[in-house]
């Protein structure tokens, strides 16, 4: 067997033998503050994806992705993704950013309980985008709204995309009267401004929370893997609807975050998903840690 074929075969074997699928986790609630604003990172779940060339680095190949994983000290052949949601306490508002998977497998409600918050106490649910691991928790197992007293807020473009998907018919019927849309990049609540990060989905939004000079940006799915998405932001991720637009936004976003040192919340970085981005070689790296 020729050397290059042997190397490829070894990488394929590693990917095939890697642990993949949902990971069993427990509810968790980690509090932190940004300025005077109290927040809690909530655990919803975790997954391990195989490095099979179908999701991460689809234009780079399995071997290239594995090299990045190994260089970062991660397990070859698999990509770890958390699912995290965020509770934000504002004067007059109890805000949840995204809702996780929901009744079938999500832990956000149990994590909310650990944070001492009942679903009925949530006043606003901010949705980054309409994928199932972000909006699944809006409904109970029998299709009723979970957050009965909350306005559901998302960009107008994202709500249009959610309504256009036939699979969302029950969701749309259940929450339609509760939805309040905003223009891309507009103010959402006192202290929270949307950031236009469209590309991953048509109306994908981040949320910047500000208290005085302190800020935190919830980046949604602008970056999925804390290793691959940061080390190689120009690689295509299959999840992104508009790959070229998403790559341009991701590269600009990471460059800005590395320069500013702003606190970041990511729904898919290792729980609790809070830290900052730094420049590292030709790409970026994740530095976990709660703000001080």
- Cα 50 to the center of its chain, rounded Å: 19
Whole-angstrom distance, CA of residue 232 vs CA of residue 227 = 8
In whole angstroms, how far apart are CA 146 and each of 138, 190, 237? 6, 24, 31
* Sequence-separated (6 or more) residues with CB below 8 Å from residue 88: 37, 38, 39, 94, 95, 96, 97, 192, 209
pLDDT at site 118: 98
Q: What is the total residue count of the chain?
A: 292
- Please report which confidence band the pLDDT of residue 18 belongs to, taking 50, 70 and 90 as the band edges: low
* Sequence-separated (6 or more) residues with CB below 8 Å from residue 292: none
- Please report which confidence band the pLDDT of residue 20 belongs to, taking 50, 70 and 90 as the band edges: confident
- pLDDT for residue 12 is more than 90: no
Rounded-to-10 torsion of CA 71, 289, 206, 166: 70
- pLDDT for residue 35 is more than 60: yes
Q: Are 230 and 285 in contact (CB under 8 A)?
A: yes
pLDDT at site 97: 99
In whole angstroms, how far apart are CA 140 and each of 3, 20, 32, 272? 54, 27, 28, 25
- Please report which confidence band the pLDDT of residue 10 belongs to, taking 50, 70 and 90 as the band edges: very low
pLDDT at site 4: 40
Q: What is the pLDDT of residues 38-78, one digit of tens each?
A: 999 999 999 999 999 999 999 999 999 999 999 999 999 99
pLDDT at site 86: 99
- pLDDT for residue 271 is more than 60: yes
pLDDT at site 90: 97
- Mean of pLDDT over the chain: 94
Helices (H) and strands (E) in the chain, counts: 8, 15
Q: Which residues pair with 182 in a beta bridge?
A: 155
Whole-angstrom distance, CA of residue 242 vs CA of residue 274 = 26
- pLDDT for residue 203 is more than 60: yes
Q: 56: which DSSP letter?
A: B
Nearest 5 degrees, angle CA 212-CA 128-CA 112?
75
Q: What is the pLDDT of residues 103-162, one digit of tens each?
A: 989 999 999 999 999 999 999 999 999 999 999 999 999 999 999 999 999 999 999 999
Helix (H) or strand (E) holding 193: strand 192-196
Closest CA to 27 of 89, 97, 92, 85: 85
Helix, strand or coil, per DSSP, at residue 261: coil
- Please report which confidence band the pLDDT of residue 189 belongs to, taking 50, 70 and 90 as the band edges: very high
> Please, what CATH class does the domain formed by 3-221 belong to?
alpha beta
Q: What is the pLDDT of residues 207-238, one digit of tens each?
A: 999 999 999 999 999 999 999 999 999 999 99
Report if pTM > 0.85.
yes
Whole-angstrom distance, CA of residue 154 vs CA of residue 201 = 12
Whole-angstrom distance, CA of residue 10 vs CA of residue 61 = 14
């Amino acid at each position: 067997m020729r050397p290059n074929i042997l190397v490829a075969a070894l990488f394929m074997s590693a990917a095939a033998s890697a642990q993949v699928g949902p990971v069993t986790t427990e509810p968790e609630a980690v509090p932190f503050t940004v300025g005077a604003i109290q927040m809690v990172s909530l655990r919803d779940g975790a997954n391990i994806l195989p490095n099979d060339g179908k999701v991460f680095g689809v234009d780079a190949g399995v071997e290239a992705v594995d090299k990045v994983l190994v260089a970062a000290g991660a397990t070859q052949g698999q990509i770890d993704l958390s699912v995290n949601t965020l509770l934000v306490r504002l004067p007059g508002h109890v805000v949840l950013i995204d809702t996780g998977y929901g009744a079938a497998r999500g832990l956000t409600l149990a994590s909310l309980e650990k944070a001492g918050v009942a679903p009925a106490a949530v006043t606003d649910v901010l949705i980054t985008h309409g994928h199932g691991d972000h909006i699944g928790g809006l409904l109970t197992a029998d299709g009723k709204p979970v957050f009965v007293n909350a306005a559901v807020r998302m960009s107008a473009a994202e709500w249009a995309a959610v309504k256009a998907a036939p699979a969302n018919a029950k969701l749309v019927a259940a929450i339609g009267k509760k939805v309040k849309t905003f223009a891309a990049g507009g103010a959402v609540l006192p202290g929270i401004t949307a950031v236009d990060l469209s590309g991953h989905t048509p109306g994908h939004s981040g949320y910047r929370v500000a208290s005085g000079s302190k800020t935190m940006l919830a980046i949604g799915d602008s970056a999925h893997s804390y290793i691959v998405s940061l080390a190689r932001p120009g690689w295509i991720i299959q999840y992104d609807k508009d790959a070229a637009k998403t790559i341009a936004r991701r590269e600009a976003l990471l460059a800005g975050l590395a320069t500013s040192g702003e606190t970041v919340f990511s729904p898919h970085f290792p729980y609790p998903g809070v830290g900052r981005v730094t420049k590292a070689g030709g790409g970026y790296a994740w530095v976990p840690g709660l703000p001080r």
